[in-house]
Structure 1
Amino acid sequence: MARAQGARSQLAAAFETTYGTAPASGFMQMPFASASLGAEQPLLASELLGYGRDPLAPIKDAVTADGDITVPLDAEAFGFWLKAAFGTPTTTGTTNKTHTFKSGSWALPSMAIEVAMPEIPRFAMYTGCVLDQLRIAMQRSGLLTADIKLVAQGENVATATAAGTPTAYALQRFGHFNGAIKRNGTALGNIVSADLTYANNVERIETIRNDGRIDGADPSIAALTGKIDVRFADTTLMDQALNGTAASLEFSWVISANVSLTITAHAVYLPRPRVEIQGPQGIQASFDWQAAYDSVAGQMCTIVLKNAVASY
């Protein structure tokens, strides 16, 4: 008897033309490390009296479909998730392509995502998936991944795939050693670790339906936040925090001139942190930063992905 194993699982995704309706074709095979995407429907205990001490049968509540997917930061497939987070990019170039994503779009595409366990067989298709959050952590070593939080409309489970034969991206991963951080265009030193989170703050449209599903998922005010842990060596960031001024932060991963990913937060504000001495080792300070709209750039953040993909 076959048993489900994560090593055999597969994930395919495609953008929808109509919200909540999976397309007939166009699915891409997506690399992933883990997935908790799923649907659940709790039971409501009966509150009725007069039938003795034993409770009456429960009834079903509304369906909630959401979850997280951990994916690698790579040169091609990650552009799919960037489109889900920011909308369709502007693409330039001939053989070597430059895809520019900008924050602030009100029109975010929805996705159909199939999580397959072929040996069972179980093929779960999640439709109406909208990207709520995207989080990336930077450090000195380890595997470089991104955590993606999704809000979906519902789940349909079948014994055969509805994604057909997905097209695979060429996998070329970025590593932590490809990463760098700049402040106002100058390399920022003494960084121990950093992370950034882009949130669309998706709002579920919970209307009355006979299937218990949501009617849509709309983005509200976006947010770009993060944290920088620095070895306390100078007062550059502390002075910025005290002055209350903004500076740009650029997070980049570069493999070559034609393969790179750059995330620029144009106006970053820093809080005044507590600087603690916890022993004879080096002293660190943590800055929980927030980004805001920059009138010169015209948006809060810009993401530039360079690869050989024709379009997203």
Structure 2
Amino acid sequence: MGRAHGARAQMALAFETIYGTPPASGYTRMPFASSSLGADQPLLQSELLGYGRDPLPPIKDALTADGDVVVPIDARAFGFWLKGAFGAPSSSEGEDGSGDPNGIFTHVFQSGSWMLPSMSIEIGMPEVPSFTMYPGCRVDQLSFTMQRAGLLTATARLIPQGETPPAATAQTGTLNAIELMRFGHFNGSIMRNGSALANVVSCEVSYQNNLDRIETIRGDGLIDGTDPGMTMLTGRMDVRFSDTTLLQQAIDGAPSSLEFGWELPSGETLTLTAHAVYLPRPRREINGPQGVQASFEWQAALDPITGRMCTVTLINDLEAY
């Protein structure tokens, strides 16, 4: 028996047909940077009197297994997390979805879906060995940061139904493999109303499903499920103050579209388009001789023309998710 090392950890993911029931097969090995998934069940200290100064044994409280998974933003595997956050995409062949049989597929995810799929995720540490399954996982929040340098990752906040006890052998069998095609910050761009937005230092983007836990009384301590609440698409843009375009938009209270995207030299692309973004009026502080920046805590809303808040388009060589 060895000691667990993060370098040998593995993650397997499969979408469920029935909520909370792990599929027997069809799991895909997923790249990830870190995971905080794990059951947490605190102890409640006894409040009873009459047995002396020493307390009686504690009892177990409710069990939760929520956690965050940090994953790379890439042209293939990231589509699984997009499906978890937005629902099943509309997939078609061709870069423009025209059906041209060129081996390239366009996957379009839309906000506001009432049907969010659940996933079974197994975290394995084979040197112990220990393999733990988290059934009924749904994506509560998906967020990322755009900046000039560093590794490009996203954080998926998950709400599982619970955790199965660790097993000595993997429950997922043979895993499907996906070749990693990772985007970098240098592949990224931000567009406003179809034109490149300059002077952006960094930008944070967060899509939230605001899942409502169904915490009923059960003998196994698990939750009954998670229902989607109101979606939110928010973020923060730090911009070098060089013109009044964004400031004037904030003063006018008019919306604009923002598109966050990446493209690989081989042609794979990922774009998130917020169709109606509203900006608050920011404070412009002068803190010294360095450049002046303004920070916009923006919010997206339903666009009456497209009928949705945002659209994510992923173009790669995978036929479906």
Q: Name the TM-score class by shorter chain.
A: over 0.9
- Match for 2:68: what amino acid? D
Distance 2:243 2:260 in 1: 20
Which residue does the alignment assign to 1:139? 147
Distance 1:307 1:258 in 2: 8
Matched ranges for 1:33-112 at <5 A: 33-93=33-93, 94=101, 95-112=103-120
- Match for 1:190: what amino acid? N
- Match for 1:288: what amino acid? E
Distance 1:176 1:62 in 2: 41
Whether 2:313 is the aligned partner of 1:304: answer yes
- Match for 1:21: what amino acid? T
Which residue does the alignment assign to 2:240? 231
Distance 1:299 1:191 in 2: 26
SS of 1:275's partner is: coil
Whether 2:144 is the aligned partner of 1:128: answer no
Identity of aligned residues (%): 63
CA contact (8 A) 1:153 1:215 kept: yes
Unaligned runs of 5+ in 1: none
Whether 2:270 is the aligned partner of 1:261: answer yes
How many positions carry a matched residue from both structures? 312
Per-residue deviation at 1:62? Answer: 1.2
SS of 2:264's partner is: strand
Per-residue deviation at 1:212? Answer: 1.1
Question: Of 287, 294, 305, which aligns to 2:296?
Answer: 287
Distance 2:71 2:305 in 1: 33
Per-residue deviation at 1:256? Answer: 4.1
Which residue does the alignment assign to 2:250? 241
Per-residue deviation at 1:195? Answer: 1.1
CA contact (8 A) 1:139 1:193 kept: yes
Distance 1:144 1:74 in 2: 9
Which residue does the alignment assign to 1:18? 18
- Match for 1:220: what amino acid? G
- Match for 1:198: what amino acid? Y
More strand by share: 1
Which residue does the alignment assign to 2:217? 208
Deviation sequence 1:147-203 (CA, Å, 0-9, x none):
110001111121110111111111000000000000000100000000100000011
The 4+ residue runs of structure 1 with deviation greater than 6 A are none
Which residue does the alignment assign to 1:114? 122
Which residue does the alignment assign to 2:96? none
Per-residue deviation at 1:258? Answer: 3.6
Deviation sequence 1:82-133 (CA, Å, 0-9, x none):
0000000001113100000000001000000000000000001000100000
Distance 1:215 1:121 in 2: 30
SS of 2:25's partner is: coil
- Match for 2:216: what amino acid? T
Per-residue deviation at 1:295? Answer: 1.0
Name the TM-score, length of structure 1 as normaliser: 0.99
Unaligned runs of 5+ in 2: 94-100
Whether 2:170 is the aligned partner of 1:161: answer yes
Which residue does the alignment assign to 1:151? 159
CA contact (8 A) 1:263 1:301 kept: yes
Per-residue deviation at 1:257? Answer: 6.9
Which residue does the alignment assign to 1:5? 5
SS of 1:267's partner is: strand
Deviation sequence 1:12-31 (CA, Å, 0-9, x none):
00000110110000100000
Name the TM-score, length of structure 2 as normaliser: 0.96
